[in-house]
Each structure stands twice: as structure tokens, then as C-alpha cells.
A and B are shown apart, each in its own frame.
Chain A
Amino acid sequence: MASDFAAASLRRRAPGQMRALLWSRVTVSLVFAAVLVFTIAILIPLAWTVQMSFKTTREILIDPYAMPSQLRLSNYAGLFLNPSVEIQTYFLNSVMVTGGALLISLLLSTMGGYVFGRMRFEFRGRKVFFYVLLFAVMLPPQIYYIPQYQMMAAMGLNNSQWSLILLYAAHSLPVSVYLMSTYFSQLPGELEDAAIIDGCNDWELFWQVMLPLARPAMTTIIILNALYFWNELLLAITVITDPSKRTLPAAIFNFIGELGSNFGGAAASLVVSMLPILVLYLFLSRRLIQGLTAGAVKG
């Protein structure tokens, strides 16, 4: 479809309005220029950080803006070859934790969304359950870290990736259930009728009818949660103290540490940390918009 800005309605306007159209073109150009400047400004800090990842810490501290005299890969090498823990380990831990937590989160939030979103599950007090589920999102998260840590310790799970998986999934539930329930509530009401007449029970209904339809919303949840799980820091360093089990944000935090911030290394670990999420996003971005578009978050 032609851009609205190109005034597809050109054909329908009277010739006398050509001057207005010209003005419209000028406006478009100005707006575009402003947006371009805005976008470049937004991205400069990122570009700068990527540039820093190719410089040594000393070079950075002496002149942060100079283009690197040579494109050193030493920072990246340092990340991957660090004798104490190599970044591949952190990376794998992040993948494990994010994957596991996503699995649990998807399962529970689709089930929850189904219960809260479909008319046929209406029962007295359903709204109460719903709000109880949501209220935890308003609490500053640090405060239940200690009791959660104590729980994990009691279960013998501290220093295992499982602790982060279980806790991350729990943290993501309120928003995910909310999104899924909104989405499910906007699907047509008669959806289940045919299936039930045919003798399906709710379980089959859920797996074979509802879930396939929920793909756009699930995509949304996958990417929003993956983002949160991947970058989460506080819980990751509180609950897991064994370096070989830690996630990527802990590695970054390590470089920006108490003594001797290795800025070059920090910049490199930032770039490495960003790439998977960026790739995931580029891959899924169309689906994401589709998913959101299909009404997952219409309010």
C-alpha cells in the first residue's frame, strides 16, 4: 500500500489543492530529518560502546572518542579465553536459564490465560484470583529476594541454574498471564462450541484449538520474557555464587567491578551479551508486532 504520506488520496483531491500537497511534502521531509537525527542520537551511545570494545582500557580512558588505532580483538579474546571462567560458560548458563524459565512461563501463562480469558471458565471470584496474581508486579523485586533465596537454599537448589529458572518463571507470571488472558478473551466466543459438540474435553481443546491460535501472543511473551530473563542481574548474583553456574549479566558485572574496571572488556561483554537478543528480536520482530497487533495488548 502506498504510504499515507504520499497521499494516496491525491487522486481524490481537487487540483487546486496541489499547493497544500507540496507543503505536505516539505513537512514530511522535515519530520523525516528530525526522526533521523533523533534515531542517530539514540544510537550513538551504542555505537560508542561497540567502538570501545575494540580499544584497550587505557586507550579508552585517555580519549574515549578516538577511533581505535587498530581494531583489537584482545578484549573479545580475553572474554573467551579467561582462565577462571570463560564467557562461553556464562553464555550457556544464560541459555539454559532463559530456556528453562521460558518453558515453564509459557506453559503456566497459557494455562492461566485460558482460565482467566475464556467465558466458559467464568466463576464467582475469578476476578479476585486474577488480581491476586497481578498484584505482585507492583512490589520492588529486591525485597522478596532474600526469602526466595532462603527457599532455594532450603530446597538445596542454590548454586544450581534451577533456582533461577524457577524464580524467573515466577516473576514473569503476572504480566504473562495478563497478556495471555487478554488475548484469549478476544478470540471469538463460539470457538469451543464446535469442538465440544464433537466430544473434545478441555485438555484437548486447549492443546489443539487454543494454543495454535495463541501463537502471536506466545511470541510476544517469549520475546518480552526472554529479554527479562537474559538481562536480569540482582537475583542472578544473589542466588548463584558459583562462577561456573552464573549467567551473562554477572560476567558483565564482573568487569565493572570493585577494582580495576576493564572498560574494554566490559564493552566487549556488552556486545556479546546483546547479540543473541538482537538476533532473536530481528528474527521474531515481525511476529512480535503481529502478535501484539492481533490484540494481545489492547488493554
Chain B
Amino acid sequence: MRKVIAFLAAAGMTLAAGLPALAQDNTITIWSQFADQQPNQQKALRQIFEDYQAAHPDVKLNVRFWDKAELNPAFQAAMLAGGKGAPDIVYYETGQADWIKAGWVDNIHDTIDTSKILAGYDRNAFRDYGVPVYLLINMLFYNPEVFDKLGIKVPADNMFTEEQFDQVIKTCHAGGYSGLANAAGDRPYAGTYIPQYMLLSQFGADEYHAYWTGSKSWDNPEIRKLLETYIGWIKDGLYPSTYSSMGIDAFHLYFHTLQKSCMLALGNWYTARAFKSEDAGGQSPDFHFSFLYYPEMDGAVDPKGLITAFAGFLGEVSTGTHKDIVKDVLKFMQQPKYGAMWTQVTASPSALRYTPSDVPDSLKSDPEIAKWSWYWDEIAKVYADADYVEEQLPCGEFQDALTTVFNDSIPLGTMTLDEAIANLDAHLCPAN
């Protein structure tokens, strides 16, 4: 027993090393998303920060990569403690509007140069508060080999009508495939793509926003008809039987490696998980999927709408002490060459404007990047005439209701149409 206690005492005493060191001058702490399993994004960001440090030898940029689910509570805890332990630059997404309202992220109007950022950012709610990292586009992927095998022909404009789409689902199901690979095992949005796009297609951007942001009641005949169609699709085999237990990685594999589904509804961040080594769960570069527009509803107002969002921002934390350096870093990040570099390295579109001449030569000839060039060609081919609609997020309670209804219940058949509408209407957002 004495030995045990002595050991413990020794362990305790080595903690002298654990006392926190004083913050060095000119060290900027950056908290970013893209934890270990998104190596390309990390590589791209590290490149930017290394370049900055090379240009400014007296500054040290200390970047930590997090999982979003950990970053948010940690940042919240730090800010609630008055900023102790908070970083100087933080990554956040559109779901963190509360941070801005609470004054935790500064207004850096002058630092953001909208001429360097893609069109539309000057109207964005986050325009003054952060540099956008990439452009999110919600797309519909499909597996051409499976389509061929089942004899499904894709129309010339890459868009099925309602009835055709239903037929596609039935054909897939009969062939032993699921319509989509989407599954809600560990994500709250997998089941929301189709309903969102049905609304957009049928009603156009304004009405779609009104419904989806919880500003309008869902209890009317048009919505009922739309949802009944959707429920019909589900019954015909839209979602996989493992919808409730497949996690995000599993359903990626379901689509690109196991190839058990016809289609996949997902954002373009698909490449973050799929364009990596197969041993780590990525796809083969030879699997050339393609894209579709979401199904065109009868009497559609906006059939070729594509929901986009400026996703992910890096902003200045209000409790930081080196704000001039922070602003400098954020300005530095807005150079076109970094937009080009980000897009090439991560295979997801940067939010920055750039031209082909901005692409560094080293990347032009990089085989790791070249093997995915077919992906960009497909997007350009299919979505050439897309109408980009910017996403708007509702208040928290309504978004939770959307998750409950569309992600957790309707695909599993555990909620009737009336219950769904009642649930949504019970959580509408208060008018702002």
C-alpha cells in the first residue's frame, strides 16, 4: 500500500510540468473544423497558415483541428468563462448565428473584401463576420452503372418528373437497390434533402424559404399533396432498410463501394469523405458517378434550383488580444490563389473567386488531384444551367422539429401525415 501511495505521489508531483505556460507574444490560436479524418482540408489550411508565417516570421499561428461536435461546446464554455482558453480565430457555420448575436465573433466589415468572394456573399447574413471557407451545394448523385444495369434512362436535361422519379425508385427497389443511400444513423439532416427540394421545385425560392424557416403554417392542401407524394416514394423504397442505423461513413460506402443504392442526396462535401484512400473508407477513383437535378414536381416553379450556402467561416473572436494580426491573417486568406488551391486540394469549391491562371503549377500536374478531374467535368456538364438558391436556416426549435419529422420519423413510417404537420406547426418560429 505504501508503494502504491508513493507511486501516486510521484505521479502527482510530475504535474509541476502541467501548470500552464504563459501565452507567448504574437501567437495566434486558431480553432478549425476538419479533424483528423479530413486530411485534404487540413492540408489546404495548413498551407495558407504556413505561407503566412513565412511572410511574417514574428507571428506564430497555432492551429488546432477539431470535430465540430467538440468545437462548439468547447468554444461556448470558453466564452461563457469570459474568454479564458478561447482562441483568436474560430471556425463556425450557419448554425452558430447565436455566437454573433452574443457578440462572441466580431464585426470585421473592413477586413472582408466581397470582391474577392463569390457573388452573393454581400447579401449574406454572415457577410461582416467571417471569411467563408467553401461553398456548399446540395446535389443529387447517381450511380450510372446501376442505372444501366436496371435499364434506367436519364433524360437529356438530367431531370426526372415526379412520376418518372417514382418509377426509378420502384425499378431500383425491384432490382434489390435502395433509391437513396441516405441514412440517419448519426446525422440529423439525411432525410431532409428530398422534402426541401420538393418544396423548392414546387413553390419556388420564396415560398420554400417561408416553409422551411418556420414562418408559415404547413397545414394546407398543396403541402399535404406534396408530402403524400413523398410518403409514396418512401413506401416504394426510397431509403435503405438500414436507414436508422447506418452512420455517415457507412452510407458513403453503401453508395460508392458496396454500390447498393441508385442515388445519394448530399452536399458537395461528399468529396471530403470519399476522395481519400480506400483503406480509410474512401472511394475508388474509377467510380465515376454523375449528377441529376432533383425531381421536377408537377407545375414546378423552380425545377432547376440548387440549394447552396456559404458554409464554414473563420472569424475573429471578441476576446482575443492580437486583433490586428488576426485581421491581417483573415485578409491574407482571401487571395485568389488560395481559392484555387483549396478547390484543387480538397475537391470542394472554395468560396473565393479565382481564375484558372491562379492555380499553382505544382497542383496542375499533381496526379492525386488529376485523378478526380472527371468530377468537375460532370458537375460543369450537368449543372450548367442551375439556379442557385441560398439556404436559410430556421430558429432552433423549428429546425429540431424538422429533424424530428423529416429525419427521424417520416422515412421510418413512425409518424402519420397529420402528426407531422401538427408537430411542425407547433414549433413555428416567432416572427422576427
Contacts and interface: CB of A to CB of B under 8 A. Distances in A.
A contacting B, Cβ–Cβ less than 8 Å: yes
Interface of A: 56-58, 61-62, 82, 84, 95-96, 98-100, 102-103, 106, 145-146, 149-150, 153-154, 156-162, 165, 212, 215, 218, 222, 237-239, 241-243, 245, 253-255, 257-263
A51 to B, nearest CB: 17
A146 B280 CA distance: 36
Interface in B1-27: 1, 4-5, 7-9, 11-12, 14-15, 18-20
Given A260-B272, A263-B249, 19 more contacts: A57-B249, A58-B253, A58-B281, A61-B250, A61-B257, A84-B36, A96-B15, A150-B81, A150-B82, A154-B84, A156-B20, A162-B18, A218-B1, A237-B73, A239-B77, A241-B85, A245-B18, A253-B67, A258-B69
6 contacts: A99-B11, A100-B8, A145-B77, A157-B20, A239-B77, A257-B70
Given A58-B257, A62-B257, A162-B18, A258 B11 contact: no
Interface centre among A96, A165, A212 (most CB of B within 10 A): A96
B406 interface: no
Contacts of A262: 36-37, 280-281
Nearest to A145: B77
B341 to A, nearest CB: 20
A149 B77 contact: yes
Contacts of B7: 99
B90 to A, nearest CB: 12
B127 interface: no
Contact of A260 (B84, B258, B281): B281
B343 interface: no
Nearest to A57: B281
B375 interface: no
Contact of A99 (B8, B81, B281): B8
Nearest to A253: B70
A100 B67 contact: no
Contact of B249 (A99, A245, A260): A260
A245 B21 CA distance: 12
Nearest to A102: B8
Nearest to A258: B67
Contacts of A154: 81, 84
Contacts of A162: 15, 18-19
B74 interface: yes
A279 to B, nearest CB: 14
A237 B35 contact: no
A62 B85 CA distance: 41
B38 interface: yes
Interface string B267-279: 0000011001011
Contacts of B18: 96, 160-162, 245
B325 interface: no
Interface string B55-84: 000000000110111100110011011101
A258 B8 contact: no
On chain B, which size bracket covers the interface? Answer: 35 or more
A237 B75 CA distance: 11
A103 B258 contact: no
A146 B76 CA distance: 10
The 3 A-B residue pairs with the shortest CB-CB distance in the complex, in nearest-first order: A260-B37, A99-B11, A153-B84
A261 B64 CA distance: 18
B34 interface: yes
A222 B9 contact: no
Contacts of B9: 103
A146 B80 contact: yes
A162 B276 CA distance: 39
A180 B239 CA distance: 56
B247 interface: yes
B344 interface: no
Contacts of A222: 4
Contacts of B65: 84
A222 to B, nearest CB: 7
A62 B37 contact: no
Interface centre among A57, A157, A158, A259 (most CB of B within 10 A): A259
Contact of B258 (A62, A241, A243): A62
Nearest to A211: B1
A61 B80 contact: no
A62 B253 contact: yes
Contacts of B64: 241-243
Nearest to A262: B37
A78 B8 CA distance: 30
Contacts of A245: 18
A99 B37 contact: no
B5 A103 contact: yes
B85 A153 contact: yes
A205 B390 CA distance: 75
B269 to A, nearest CB: 8
B370 to A, nearest CB: 23
B35 A258 contact: yes
B81 A149 contact: yes
B130 to A, nearest CB: 19
Contacts of A261: 37, 247-249
Given A237-B70, A238-B74, A160 B85 contact: no
A197 to B, nearest CB: 27
Nearest to A156: B20
A158 B84 contact: yes
A159 B23 CA distance: 12
A261 B247 CA distance: 9
Contacts of A243: 64
Contacts of A255: 36
Contacts of A157: 20
B33 interface: yes
Interface centre among A58, A158, A162 (most CB of B within 10 A): A58
A258 B33 contact: yes
